[in-house]
Amino acid sequence: MTVKYKEGDIFVIPMSNGKYALCQIVFAPKQKFKQAIGFCILSIQDTEELRDSGALTPLSFEKFGKEMKVIFTGNQNITKGLWKIIGHADLTEDKKQLKIFNYAGGLYDGEEEIRRLSVAEYPNYTTMGVSGFELVDNVLTNM
């Protein structure tokens, strides 16, 4: 059975070090990027449960030497139920901003291309680079 998911869903990633990453989907595309999701990390904890839904602030992390707040990856672990959805919270304006990214020189807000970027502007925006699940675990365990 395929698990359905949407923006705002809160899910848990079991990490290789025995801890759990509590995450929230901020980008759940239906068209061009439909095999991917974008999510922020809410906490790294010892259990799978959502304890305090008031503290849903995205954590910053480092990936390839750059500070980031969103990870793009494939949707397979969500749709197969390996990453369990445990709750939902509407996206705040700050989290909606995480859907603005550079993809192949285009500035996107979700699935809509806003405009083309000059190369000089590239460092100003998060790049949509889809991370494999091993890299996701690597980023999480190094937080």
| Residue pLDDT, tens place only, 25-60 | 999 999 989 999 999 999 999 999 887 656 688 888
Q: What is the pLDDT of residue 53?
A: 57
Q: pTM above the 0.85 mark?
A: yes
| Ramachandran sector of residue 98 (left: φ over 0; alpha: ψ -120 to 50; beta: rest) | alpha
pLDDT < 50 positions in the chain: none
Tokens of 14: 């079991």
Q: What is the pLDDT of residue 55?
A: 65
Q: What is the pLDDT of residue 54?
A: 60
Q: Where are the alpha helices (DSSP H) in 29-128?
A: 76-79, 93-97
Q: Within 10 A of 26 (CB to CB), how many other CB atoms are there?
A: 26
